[in-house]
Structure 1
């Protein structure tokens, strides 16, 4: 029964909190009996002490993120109590036992002492604690906002380096935002405490003057008796309010000045103040010196003796702790040496790796100005925007087996590309005319294979004036990484990546995902279609259109190549748009009809898709002819584009992609309306045979 009642209360805390807020407002209007006010005043003190304890034992500010709203609630509650107690003091000359005892016990019935104590509390709260907490909150909010971009970049760098995963990165970004919101809210909420202190002084003056007038004019009390009675009640009322307010202000100051730590404030203080016995011995010596100079010896010698004993105990315990830690470390080493080796971690393979020679390590060292990690973050964003898939974390490490200026790019542990750059030089690529006046080391651009030179920074401006393209070493490496990713994206994409993309698409279009997977196509089949698209650098960013096309066409065929062609037709506009000139004209190559029919007749199915069962000499002739025609396109400044039948397209692309990687092969079905196609070349039968 008690458990069920507890669950009901916990499940309805929001309703109880709302009722409590309404009750606080009602207190300002409805007179309350003195006995109920005693309970409410006690609750106010209890809440203040509880808030102080929570602030004291918090390890970081966000653990008490409700404090700004709590400050407003507690301030409103105290003001409501002040109004209720003021009403009783002025009407009945009695506001309950708690206020009466505060007036008698704390100040011993002396109004002058009460005034002094009250004003000291208000000054401490208003000038010392509240003003300091307000300033700390303001500065913390400003610095937190200024530091947000740097913290975001740090999170991206850690994510890119593999130190954290995506979930941890999202959590850290969320905490950064919460921290900025918290300090901003604290900066505003401290104004409530300041206003509460000012209101306390005004209420004190009003109560004394009002009570004096009522006591003399309405109750007929002598002047001194009226002043003494209402002054004591007013001071008691003020102390009942200001002591909890002081506790709340102290809690606020503790929270906003608290640095993130693994321990609470008490544990941090004990460790940091008493970890070095030498400081205790020096302090004890200072106290003994003061005693010898004439200060009271009893307290000085007593405290000095306590410090000396504490220092001796701490030093002895620290020596024992060092011995125990050393012994424990030796036992752990012996135990580990006897355990069977765990080699499972050695089986893990990173999706992508970048290995650097020792001369290139500075490119990733932030303290030495390296920004390669930030560039890799931008590369991942660029690929996500252009190709529509998330590049896995690229792990960057040094490799002492490489030459100092060498680097290696790996995919799943296999070397994909290698290059060599000079970290303190610039790569200059000529605009077409060689110029020996600019000295440098001849090289090849690792991304595109263009002729280039490594030049010193002193010749950078001279090269740029001559029309050379000049880029720094990190840009060369970043460009190479980008091209490697774009070329091999279809190999990088795995089922888990596809699952992530589909889960994201499901949030926007759940109907098509539920229709397609797994009833019509499996996740692996969808992955193969997406890999076919990425293999030809077709963006899969419009995943919903891809899935809708698959849902429509997979009812009639499960052949991956045919499904890929259907999807390309659905994406025809985004495929052809980058190839069209400003005059809406697309210059293309075509196949001789006899060759196209010959290729179509030679397409054979297999367990691994379709292939061309064509005479190697004929096939080689087609490729050579395509190569000659493609060179003509390049000389005219055009991208070589071949148009053919849909079934011919994918097989011909696979045959030519090794020798002619930049040849774009389109099907007739991908030529959308509004584009004027201009055939400026044909692969003839006489040249291909």
Structure 2
């Protein structure tokens, strides 16, 4: 192959030298025959190629073959005008086509030239131009599709890079083909010009210089001109056809010599047999001189035989290796590792909901999942694991189940051909439908038909389709269980992302002060209370500041929350006013005195009776706030917040507990009730 690189370079230089330096007439016959063989090879490869990348050198090859034909035209013109002959191949082609009638042969030749120029060449040029334009217009859409697959977890970052590179290669190829098609057009025009020069120049030289009669000169030089034109135009016709076939292929990424040898002589041995058979037929059956065609035909058949032998040997070796691997696998104990894998998030659905997830049936559930991952990345700052979709025949047809770590967390049921109508509190009038409960938030709702949908919207109901119901439910489940989905590997990826722009921060913190596992505990605490971890720089800076004081995850979480006070204020405070439930100072003092510090952390030690009394008082205040339409929020001292939050989780996990240090000093706090010790 390395020697082939040199031979290809020498061949290109030799083509240029043929234009200047006369070559022997016997070698001209061989080169003209090889020109036909090469055109056949290019045409067959263009037909057998399944992927454009397999024949990416075509634009460059088009230039070389065009230059090769033109150099042969110059050599034959030199012999026609100087000696009145141009070798056996050209004379045989001329006699075969003219058949004793100069004008009929000339007309046939001109028809072939017109077909090549006006039909095939013009068409290939137009296709190349349109393909180049459409490919460039489609590039942004293809890039967005790659980004969508990457964000949804369908492909890796490496796969995305490869696909982007392929798109760039295709764009380069179409641009190259748009210009390379001009070579074919110019070649056809040059063929017409050369024909006119040969006939006109031949008549002038034959009559005036060689003193030949007009009729004899006309027959002689027309025969040679038609033969020369056919020998050039037939390969040009084949390559023009190949241009139209390969015009939508991708660009090459290897050098020309490697591509020529690998792509012309390394893909399909059958092509070598076909070309060899055609050449043997031309050399034996037709009046063409047999030596060049027989030699080339035998050569191509030998090459095909060698390629086929190598291919069979390689396939045999692969089969033997595969069989050996299978035998070794059989000897090993049963491999059950794949059965132990538990998916982070699974969405199982009955067969009646399958159309919602099937793209071929118009389902857009996959696209909605992509948007869910984007939404949660923005809101909570975490990368949601890939959601595994599965159909489950054990479920009811319209039922779906959401699982986290292999455990069922929630389920719901949708009617495929209905819409869910919910009263936001401002709807006027009743609608006809099937009573149900909205699965994500547990609100009363009704399933309505498409005919009733418009009426429900006019009356003020919120109407959503089944995919939106499933997507909303899945979103809420992921948010509620975000702390369980954050693994050490995810934390490592988040820290590495920060390290790209803030290396000093990460190097100071990890692993000198905290390990990835300890950082994970803090982030889990934040996500458990729906605090976004998107601002990882601020979080890591807070941990770097306080990790030297304490390594208790709960205390570090409190320090981080205080550093994120601006975010927390914006999330829970409206119009710079906060209406919240406060704690009596005696209760706060009781909680602080009940905190026990141990080597493994701190916990609240309080009697059950007092704890129940506190919780009952909290429930009363919560009901008071909800009755007037306010979101219950408890505001307390920083050191008390985390322990009070853990205590209130016995009655509800959604209760918001904030500390004074987490609220901006400019916020006006209004107490809507106070929790006291009864």
Q: Comparing 548-557 with 484-493, which one deviates more in the overlay? A: 548-557
Q: Secondary structure at the match of 1:676?
A: coil
1:257 and 1:341 map into 2 onto residues whose CA distance is 48
Correspondence 1:58 to 2:46:
no
Partner of 1:438: 431
Q: Secondary structure at the match of 2:667?
A: strand
Deviation of 1:354 after TM superposition, in Å, equals: 1.5
Out of 655, 671, 678, which is 1:663 matched to?
655
Partner of 1:481: 474
Question: 1:364-383, CA deviations, whole angstroms, 9 ceiling, x for partnerless residues?
Answer: 34455433233223222222
Partner of 1:492: 485
Correspondence 1:543 to 2:536:
yes
Contact preservation (8 Å) 2:151, 2:373: no
1:553 and 1:50 map into 2 onto residues whose CA distance is 73
Contact preservation (8 Å) 1:622, 1:683: no
2:248 and 2:651 map into 1 onto residues whose CA distance is 66
Partner of 2:20: 32
Deviation of 1:480 after TM superposition, in Å, equals: 0.6
Partner of 1:613: 605
1:224-303 equivalences under 5 Å are 242-255=233-246
1:514–1:103 distance in 2 versus 1, CA, 3 Å: farther
1:115-514 equivalences under 5 Å are 115=106, 118-131=109-122, 133=124, 165-166=155-156, 170=160, 174=164, 177=167, 181=171, 184-185=174-175, 188-189=178-179, 191-204=181-194, 207-208=197-198, 211=201, 215=205, 242-255=233-246, 342-432=335-425, 437-509=430-502, 512-513=505-506
Contact preservation (8 Å) 1:624, 1:688: no
Question: 1:569-592, CA deviations, whole angstroms, 9 ceiling, x for partnerless residues?
Answer: 4444333323343x4445455444
Question: 1:145-177, CA deviations, whole angstroms, 9 ceiling, x for partnerless residues?
Answer: 7799699879968996x9x55369637854884
1:68–1:83 distance in 2 versus 1, CA, 3 Å: closer
Contact preservation (8 Å) 2:483, 2:528: yes
1:670 and 1:95 map into 2 onto residues whose CA distance is 101
Contact preservation (8 Å) 1:525, 1:560: yes
5+ residue gaps, structure 1: 271-335
Partner of 2:284: none
Question: 1:418-471, CA deviations, whole angstroms, 9 ceiling, x for partnerless residues?
Answer: 223333332222233787732333332211122222333333222222222222
1:241–1:532 distance in 2 versus 1, CA, 3 Å: farther
Deviation of 1:662 after TM superposition, in Å, equals: 3.8
Q: Secondary structure at the match of 1:107?
A: helix
1:87–1:366 distance in 2 versus 1, CA, 3 Å: closer
1:455–1:125 distance in 2 versus 1, CA, 3 Å: same
1:32–1:477 distance in 2 versus 1, CA, 3 Å: same
1:168 and 1:117 map into 2 onto residues whose CA distance is 56
Normalised TM-score (structure 2) = 0.70
Deviation of 1:481 after TM superposition, in Å, equals: 0.5
Question: 1:596-650, CA deviations, whole angstroms, 9 ceiling, x for partnerless residues?
Answer: 3443443334566433223344444444444444555555655444444444333
2:617 and 2:344 map into 1 onto residues whose CA distance is 38
Deviation of 1:213 after TM superposition, in Å, equals: 9.4
Q: Comparing 473-482 with 660-669, which one deviates more in the overlay? A: 660-669
2:503 and 2:82 map into 1 onto residues whose CA distance is 68
1:257 and 1:31 map into 2 onto residues whose CA distance is 32
Q: Comparing 564-573 with 229-238, which one deviates more in the overlay? A: 229-238
RMSD: 5.2
Deviation of 1:486 after TM superposition, in Å, equals: 0.8
1:577–1:366 distance in 2 versus 1, CA, 3 Å: same
Partner of 1:107: 94
1:267–1:35 distance in 2 versus 1, CA, 3 Å: closer
2:213 and 2:134 map into 1 onto residues whose CA distance is 57
Question: 1:253-311, CA deviations, whole angstroms, 9 ceiling, x for partnerless residues?
Answer: 4435899xxx989989x9xxxxxxxxxxxxxxxxxxxxxxxxxxxxxxxxxxxxxxxxx
Partner of 2:670: 680
Question: 1:321-375, CA deviations, whole angstroms, 9 ceiling, x for partnerless residues?
Answer: xxxxxxxxxxxxxxx9999765443222211112223433343344554332332
2:511 and 2:222 map into 1 onto residues whose CA distance is 81
Contact preservation (8 Å) 1:533, 1:539: yes
1:135–1:442 distance in 2 versus 1, CA, 3 Å: same
Normalised TM-score (structure 1) = 0.69
Deviation of 1:410 after TM superposition, in Å, equals: 0.6
